[in-house]
Amino acid sequence: MTSRLTARFQALAADRRAALVTFITSGDPDAGTTAKILAGLPAAGADVIEIGMPFTDPMADGPAIQAGGLRALKGGMTLAKTLALVGDFRKGDDATPIILMGYYNPIYIYGVERFLVDAKAAGVDGLIVVDLPPEEDDELCLPALAAGLAFIRLATPTTDDKRLPTVLRNTSGFVYYVSITGITGSATPDFGAVAAAVSRIKQHTDLPVCVGFGVRTAEHARAIAEGADGVVVGSALVEAVRASLDAEGRATPATVPAVLDLVARIAEGAHAVRK
């Protein structure tokens, strides 16, 4: 685990509370707005920040994040510009962990070795690349670990005890448990089933377990924080961006506050639970 992720989860454990992990799409609807949202997320309550790398075929993501990615790509966002955003964020914040989430194709085109060097230099702490299974760890996972970047793997409701050790092998940083069977933002989780699944995963690993997909409100965050080490919110924040845009799809004065205010409300739920 990288030092920033280690320090953050150790601090949260000492404070006996769950992490709030917030996802936004890089460049949605433009790089300047993303930079302003990034800068405000820690003060709003984000403990860890995921930044989505826009991609044309995000098969794990629901309509909200798909649309956010397309807005970003239409605005000219690239992987290089995403890394530049992280580098700019680090000029003002050297403590909040940053995770890049996305798909392998843009990284492959950028070049794996070049990407890992540039990501580390920019201040990235970990990667979530959802379309690379453990059987393909040589492609990116092992080089990322060697470069000092965490590689966070997803476990799902269909990941049984036979498959789980394979999924957890080489996983670092934290385990991301997908609370529903489906795409992001498509349903509200069964919170009792989520708690049972987290308990089962924690029998196989000492890593923190964070839960995402379907978290929209402070009440959802509070329910998940009862059993998990972290709560991940993404589609709701991307939808807040969309709802604030003008008729031409451009950011308005309401865009940044819409996201940060929602993060603050959800943070109240996630942080209200004491372990």
* Radius of gyration of the chain from its Cα atoms, rounded to whole angstroms: 17
User: What does the alpha-carbon distance between residue 74 and residue 175 come to, in Å, rounded to a whole number?
Assistant: 32
Q: Select which of 28, 30, 47, 50 is catalytic.
A: 50
Asked if 18 and 231 touch (Cβ cutoff 8 Å), the reply is yes
Instruction: Pinpoint the alpha helices (H) of 123-254.
Output: 141-146, 164-168, 191-202, 218-225, 235-244
Compute the half-sphere exposure of residue 70: CA atoms within 13 Å on the CB side of its CA. Answer: 11
Burial of 151 (0-12, 13-18, 19+ CB in 10 A): buried
Nearest to 127 by CA among 138, 135, 119: 119
Compute φ and ψ for 24, nearest 5 degrees: -135, 155
Q: Omega before 257 cis (within 30°)?
A: no
User: What does the alpha-carbon distance between residue 187 and residue 15 come to, in Å, rounded to a whole number?
Assistant: 31
Torsion of CA 36, 38, 42, 48, to 10 degrees: 170
- Angle, CA of 248, 214 and 223, to the nearest 5°: 135
Q: Select which of 30, 47, 61, 239 is catalytic.
A: 61
Active site residue 50: yes
Catalytic residues: 50, 61
